[in-house]
C-alpha cells in the first residue's frame, strides 16, 4: 500500500530531536580542539606522521587516550590517518594550529578556551551580571604567571584575527588615500594600524592603549617593515585626551564592550581629535548582519560580556550622527569572520 502525498508531507515536517543533539554535543568538538592544542599534538605531528603510541609518548598521554584523541581529531578534520595507522596534520591544522607558523591561530584558541567556564555557568551570569562561582574560584586561584600569559594570549588572539583576514577586509572597505595621520584607539597589538601603514606609504599611525598591552604591540611593530611610521602611545582610551590633528580615528572592536554613555563619550573624543573632513572608522560585530552566521556569532558573543553588548549597525550610525558626524556610510564586510560591518562618519 503506497503512502499518500499528504501523509508524506506531514511526516517531512515532523520535528526530530536531532538538532538538539547536535547543539547539546557541540562543546565536545571544542573540547577536543582545545585539548589537542594544549597538549601540542599538532606540533608533534608537524615533523612527520606518527602513530598513536608515539603521540602518547611525546605528549604525555596514555596510549588509549592518544588513540581516542587522534580518532576524534580525525573525525573533526584536524588530522588524517594512513593505512599504516600513522597520523598527520590536515591542511587546516598545518596552516593554523602549529606554533611558529605565520598564520598560527593558537592564541585565539587559548582565549576561547578561557571562556569555557563562563559559558558553562551562563545562567548565573545572566541572572546576576556576575561570573559564576567556578570561574571566580579559578580566577582567584590562578597563578600570576598564568594570568599574565592569558592576558598576553588575548592581545595576540586579536592580532591573529586581524592577520587571519580581518585587517585586509577592513583595508579593502575603507579608502584612506590622502590621509596622513591615523589614531588607532584601544588598538591592542597594532595590527590594523600596521596594515594601513603598509597599504599607504604616506600614512603615520599611533596605537593608543594601556602600557602592558603596548609592550606586546611594540614587539610586533619592531618586527614590521613600517616601524618608522607606527608608534605606541600609552593611555586609557576612556579617559585619555586623544589630542588632535588626525585624519582618521579607528575604533575597531571598541564599542561593543561599552555602555551607550561611554560610547558617546568615546565618539565625541574622536570627533574632537579629527581635522575638518576627517573620519571615524568603526569596525564591529553586529546582530543585524545580513549573514545569518555573522548575526548568530554577534548574538552569542554578546552573552559572555560583563558590560556593553553587540549593537546594530543602524544604532552605531545613529550614535555617530548624535556625536556630530555626517556623510555616514555602513558597509558589510562579507569576506571577514569576526567583525562584519564598518561604519564611517565624516567630521564637517
pLDDT digits (tens, 9 = 90+) for 133-180: 999 999 999 999 999 999 999 999 999 999 999 999 999 999 999 999
| Domain region containing 36 | 1-99
The C-alpha atoms of residue 164 and residue 102 are separated, in whole angstroms, by 10
241 in the Ramachandran plot: left (φ > 0), alpha (ψ -120 to 50) or beta? beta
Q: Are residues 45 and 183 in the same domain?
A: no
The C-alpha atoms of residue 186 and residue 104 are separated, in whole angstroms, by 23
Q: What pLDDT score was predicted for residue 257? A: 87
Predicted confidence (pLDDT) at residue 234 exceeds the cutoff of 60: yes
Q: What pLDDT score was predicted for residue 309? A: 92
Domain count, the chain: 2
Q: Are residues 193 and 70 in the same domain?
A: no
277 in the Ramachandran plot: left (φ > 0), alpha (ψ -120 to 50) or beta? left
Contact 96, 103 (CB under 8 A): yes
Q: What pLDDT score was predicted for residue 13? A: 81
The CA-atom distances, in angstroms, between 98 and each of 9, 40, 103, 280 are 49, 8, 9, 37
CATH number at residue 42: 1.10.10.10
Q: What pLDDT score was predicted for residue 10? A: 54
pTM reported for the whole predicted model? 0.89
Q: Are residues 218 and 338 in the same domain?
A: yes
The C-alpha atoms of residue 118 and residue 114 are separated, in whole angstroms, by 8
Mean pLDDT value across the chain: 94
Displacement of CA 103 from its chain's centroid (Å): 14
Q: Are residues 324 and 212 in the same domain?
A: yes
Helix (H) or strand (E) holding 122: helix 122-128
The C-alpha atoms of residue 8 and residue 330 are separated, in whole angstroms, by 46
Q: Are residues 176 and 319 in the same domain?
A: yes
Predicted confidence (pLDDT) at residue 283 exceeds the cutoff of 80: yes
**φ, ψ of residue 208 in degrees (nearest 5):** -100, 120
pLDDT tens track for 80-127: 999 999 999 999 999 999 999 999 999 999 999 999 999 999 999 999
Work out the average pLDDT over 316-329: 98
Amino acid at each position: 500500500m503506497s503512502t499518500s502525498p499528504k501523509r508524506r508531507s506531514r511526516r517531512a515536517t515532523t520535528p526530530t530531536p536531532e538538532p538538539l543533539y547536535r547543539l547539546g554535543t557541540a562543546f565536545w568538538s571544542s573540547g577536543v580542539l582545545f585539548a589537542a592544542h594544549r597538549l601540542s599534538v599538532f606540533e608533534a605531528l608537524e615533523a612527520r606522521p606518527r602513530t598513536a603510541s608515539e603521540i602518547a609518548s611525546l605528549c604525555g598521554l596514555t596510549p588509549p587516550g592518544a588513540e581516542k584523541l587522534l580518532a576524534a581529531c580525525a573525525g573533526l578534520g584536524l588530522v588524517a590517518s594512513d593505512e599504516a595507522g600513522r597520523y598527520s596534520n590536515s591542511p587546516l591544522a598545518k596552516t593554523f594550529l602549529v606554533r611558529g607558523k605565520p598564520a598560527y591561530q593558537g592564541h585565539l584558541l587559548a582565549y576561547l578556551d578561557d571562556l569555557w567556564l563562563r559559558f558553562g555557568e551562563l545562567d548565573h551570569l545572566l541572572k546576576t551580571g556576575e561570573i559564576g562561582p567556578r570561574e571566580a574560584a579559578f580566577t582567584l586561584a590562578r597563578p600570576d604567571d598564568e594570568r599574565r600569559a592569558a592576558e598576553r594570549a588575548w592581545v595576540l588572539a586579536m592580532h591573529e584575527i586581524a592577520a587571519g583576514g580581518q585587517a585586509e577586509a577592513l583595508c579593502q572597505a575603507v579608502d584612506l588615500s590622502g590621509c596622513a595621520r591615523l589614531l588607532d584607539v584601544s588598538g591592542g597589538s597594532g595590527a590594523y594600524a600596521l596594515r594601513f601603514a603598509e597599504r599607504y606609504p604616506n600614512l603615520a599611525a599611533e596605537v593608543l592603549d594601556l602600557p602592558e598591552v603596548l609592550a606586546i604591540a611594540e614587539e610586533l611593530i619592531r618586527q614590521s617593515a613600517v616601524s618608522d611610521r607606527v608608534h605606541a602611545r600609552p593611555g586609557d582610551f576612556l579617559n585619555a585626551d586623544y589630542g588632535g590633528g588626525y585624519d582618521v580615528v579607528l575604533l575597531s572592536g571598541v564599542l561593543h564592550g561599552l555602555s551607550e554613555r561611554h560610547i558617546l563619550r568615546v565618539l565625541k573624543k574622536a570627533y574632537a581629535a579629527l581635522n575638518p573632513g576627517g573620519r571615524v572608522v568603526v569596525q564591529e560585530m553586529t546582530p543585524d548582519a545580513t549573514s545569518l552566521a555573522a548575526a548568530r556569532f554577534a548574538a552569542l558573543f554578546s552573552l559572555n560580556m560583563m558590560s556593553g553588548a553587540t549593537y546594530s549597525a543602524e544604532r552605531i550610525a545613529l550614535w555617530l550622527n548624535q556625536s556630530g558626524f555626517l556623510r555616514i556610510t555602513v558597509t558589510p564586510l562579507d569576506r571577514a569572520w569576526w567583525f562584519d560591518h564598518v561604519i564611517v562618519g565624516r567630521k564637517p
